[in-house]
Amino acid sequence: MLEKNDNLHFYIAAIFSGIILALPFIYSHFWWVTWFGLVPLLILIDRASTYKLVARLSFISGVAFFSTSLYWLYYASFMGLVIAVVYCSSYFLLFGLALKYIQNKKNPQAFSSIFITSSIWVICELIRSYLFTGFGWNQLGYSQFDNLRLIQIADFSGVYGVTFLIVLVNSFFKDIILSSREFVFYNKKVVVSKIVLGLVCLTIILGAYAYGDIKLNRELPQETIRISVIQGNIAQHQKWETFYRDMILQKYIRLSRMASIDKPVLIVWPETALPGYLEEYNLYKEVSDFISGVKISVLIGAPRVDSYNDAYYNSAVLFSKQGKVLNVYDKIHLVPFGEYIPLKGVLGFLYGYYEIANFSKGEIHTIFNLDNANFGVLICFEDVFESLVRTFVSRGADFMINITNDAWFYESAEPRQHLSASVFRAIENRVSFVRAANTGISGFIDPYGRIISKVNKSGKQICIEGFATADIPLVSQRSFYNRFGNVFVGFCFILLLFFYFKPTRI
């Protein structure tokens, strides 16, 4: 057991665990370190003698993880970074206390312990994704977005199934390390039990890979739709300056003319690409004239004003080939402290200290129709919310479009972290995803999470201008996850209750 008095080595180990877990979110080729990065924290929790020590070690590990993986929030708001890190780290603390409580109460053996640990972690990540509007960014499962064979299980488990496997393996390694330190391998029974436990873990992992092989070897449907995405690469300080207004609009028009040569059915501009409000006559007319000239439908991210209700919206606007507005989607899930202030009566004073928009929340899950294909639009970080994507697809979307402006975060890890969410949403719902990002990463993802193409210049995808065109497949069959949602997390909860209330130790 760890001593009751704090020891600097405990905190170093906790910080090390958090940083190792964060590495794949900074450099995606380090995806493999997630499979053992949690081990030091699990050992600390197992050996800590008091709940206070568990709370401190778990929280500081969370701070190390989130401050490393979410560092890019600093570019937008230092206070936002602090709030996000403290808030998200509290879920590491919750995990540590819940795990320690069950260890003290039930003293589970290794077989039940690895499933208890994985279930608690998954439940904590689900709560973080929904509580207080939710912030499910950088769940452990997202670290594997390049590991396509493994993550195909997300079509029934969501990203939570991948997270479960990661924690399961970490928990197994923790058990092996602790057993070796206690010299229990001299006991034949223990050796056999560890081998069985290892085989169980290996079978589950191999089963996930086998499932992925089956899915990835399936043929994609022949029905496709051709779409072009425009990446304007407009610097954040230029977006709302009158001086740059004409330059911005002409850049999008020029890139769209180039894309029109590929004869797409739809051209997509990023979030708030229009350098002004949709209702401004001169802007509207110039865009309308351009579209009617090329005779291609265009989806444009634009702020708009509802003067009747005195409301402002962050919107996606679909123009017909004739340059007329066909339909509008108003962003439903706004960014707290970025697009609105929660609890205005209490926190309204923040408007005087930070540059915060005052957008209103959209209420309608708009389904756009184009050439007999239906699609939904997600603005900014809405693709992180799996329930929102499920709703669009359940209501008839044949593919999804994400328009975003990540210019706030320059060439940081944020655009790739954002991309990883779209990859999982595509697999979970088995629909194609189209991404149009102001500074990148823009491109196309098929229903199996494979990136078809990106806006790319000499191997660079972020902070460049350009366009890309692709034929994306349209899948009509809905996945288990799309129909039933987070059933897997419910299974984790039942599993946790089973092992907790089971009278005999297993």
Rounded CA gap, 379 and 271, in Å? Answer: 6
Residue type, 244: Y
Q: Is residue 119 part of a domain?
A: yes
| Close Cβ partners of 86 (under 8 Å, ≥ 6 residues apart) | 63
Q: Are 342 and 207 found together in one domain?
A: no
340-370 pLDDT per residue, tens = 666 555 555 555 555 556 788 899 999 999 9
Q: Are 392 and 283 found together in one domain?
A: yes
Q: Is residue 1 part of a domain?
A: no
- The structure's pTM equals 0.92
- 36 vs 134: which has the higher pLDDT: 36
Rounded CA gap, 461 and 118, in Å? Answer: 35
Phi and psi torsions of 470, nearest 5°: -155, 155
Q: Is residue 392 part of a domain?
A: yes
Residue-range definition of the domain harbouring residue 162: 8-218+486-501
Q: Is residue 480 part of a domain?
A: no
Q: Is residue 506 part of a domain?
A: no
Q: Are 171 and 243 found together in one domain?
A: no
Residue type, 292: S
Q: Are 39 and 100 found together in one domain?
A: yes
Q: Are 495 and 454 found together in one domain?
A: no
Q: Are 160 and 295 found together in one domain?
A: no
Phi and psi torsions of 348, nearest 5°: -60, -25
Is residue 43 within 8 Å of 53, Cβ to Cβ? no
Q: With left for phi above 0 and alpha for psi between -120 and 50, is residue 138 left, alpha or beta? A: left
Q: Can you name the residues that pair with 444 across neighbouring β-strands?
A: 434, 453
Q: If 0-12 CB within 10 Å is exposed, 13-18 middle and 19+ buried, where does residue 281 land?
A: exposed
Q: Are 259 and 277 found together in one domain?
A: yes
Q: Are 161 and 238 found together in one domain?
A: no
How are beta strands 399-404 and 432-437 bridged, if at all? parallel
Q: Can you name the residues that pair with 231 across neighbouring β-strands?
A: 466
Q: Is residue 101 part of a domain?
A: yes
Q: Are 214 and 281 found together in one domain?
A: no
Tokens coding 487: 């059933």
262-319 pLDDT per residue, tens = 999 999 999 999 999 998 888 999 999 999 999 999 999 999 998 787 889 999 999 9
18-69 pLDDT per residue, tens = 999 999 999 999 999 999 999 999 999 999 889 999 999 999 999 999 999 9
How are beta strands 297-306 and 399-404 bridged, if at all? unpaired
Q: Are 358 and 493 found together in one domain?
A: no
The total number of structural domains that make up the chain:
2
* Catalytic residue set: 271, 331, 380
CATH of residue 331: 3.60.110.10
Q: Are 374 and 497 found together in one domain?
A: no
Q: Is residue 301 part of a domain?
A: yes
Q: Are 247 and 203 found together in one domain?
A: no
How many Cα atoms within 13 Å fall on the side-chain side of residue 110?
Answer: 24
